[in-house]
């Protein structure tokens, strides 16, 4: 799979997420697995992935920060915003086989206020434009 095809599939996946879960899951192989290591959960199979996402009880939006990778391994960094302004930062690792995701691992983190003691060494991170054309 070339880079432009991988980026197209990933872009379509995120554009349709929370809008059309069947279309969003088109990126997944039938035997795909999604893992949430922090909660110790695994969702096995495209059918269960669609059902899980379709039943998700909150309205969320996705803001892509960047997608990097090559061949069969891609990493997506993005922000999830929940209705009510809750924010989570996500790093997701997608493994592809034959042009479809067979495994995705999602690491989800909450934002926190930086401690004042380190202010002299740090600077704010400005938003980055996404590399999609």
Q: Give me the pLDDT at residue 132, please.
A: 53
The domains located in the chain, with CATH, are 3-111 (3.10.450.50)
pLDDT digits (tens, 9 = 90+) for 62-94: 999 999 999 999 999 999 998 867 889 999 999
Q: Which residue has the tokens 């899980």?
A: 52
Whether 45 contacts 77, CB under 8 Å: no
Overall average pLDDT of the 88-106 stretch: 97
- Mean pLDDT computed over every residue of the chain: 92
pTM: 0.87
Burial pattern 60-75, b for ≥16 Cβ within 10 A else e, equals: eeeebbebebeeeebe
Q: Of all residues in the chain, what percent carry a pLDDT higher than 70?
A: 94
- With 0-12 / 13-18 / 19 or more C-beta atoms within 10 angstroms meaning exposed / middle / buried, residue 76 is buried
Whether 75 contacts 93, CB under 8 Å: yes
């Amino acid at each position: 799979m070339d880079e432009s095809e991988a980026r197209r599939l990933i872009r379509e996946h995120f554009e349709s997420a929370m809008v059309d879960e069947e279309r969003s899951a088109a990126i997944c192989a039938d035997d795909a697995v999604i893992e949430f290591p922090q909660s110790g959960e695994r969702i096995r199979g495209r059918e269960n992935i669609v059902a899980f996402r379709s039943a998700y009880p909150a309205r969320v939006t996705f803001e892509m920060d960047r997608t990097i990778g090559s061949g069969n391994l891609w990493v997506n960094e993005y922000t999830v915003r929940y209705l009510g302004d809750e924010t989570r930062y996500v790093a997701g690792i997608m493994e592809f086989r034959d042009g479809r995701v067979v495994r995705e691992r999602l690491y989800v983190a909450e934002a926190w206020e930086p401690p004042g003691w380190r202010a002299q060494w740090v600077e704010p991170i400005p938003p980055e434009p996404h590399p999609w054309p």
